[in-house]
Amino acid sequence: MTVSRKVALKPNEQSGNQLYIYEVSPIIFYSGEADELNIELLEFNHGELIIKSLSTAILKVKQLFMEDEEFSIKWKQNTKGLRITLPDGLTNDETRKKCILKIKF
């Protein structure tokens, strides 16, 4: 089952660098802890993840981190959504089949 789709820009829309956009279907659920959500990514790679449904109009994120990982996650939230920058070393492979991000609000 494919959970993402890769979209490449048309040649006339591209600059000198290739831009690939992946649509993923993260699973977002309440973790059971007070004021905490989990985002489970079954397919991921380094780059940016934008979640429009987690804008400042919905809730104010106070902290974002990875469960059981030592990666530092950069993030920014505004009225357009939550933008998460996944680190370069974070990729799907045989040893890491999913990624769980924890959000405190």
49 DSSP β-pair partners: 84
C-alpha 96: how far from chain center: 15
Q: Which of 41, 33, 35, 25 is nearest to 59 (CA)?
A: 35
Query: Is residue 12 classed as helix, strand or coil in its secondary structure?
Result: helix
Q: Does residue 10 carry a pLDDT above 70?
A: no
- Domains in the chain (CATH in brackets) are 25-104 (2.60.40.1180)
Q: What does pTM read for this prediction? A: 0.71
Q: Kindly report, residue by residue over 19-36, the tens digit of the pLDDT.
A: 666 677 788 888 888 899
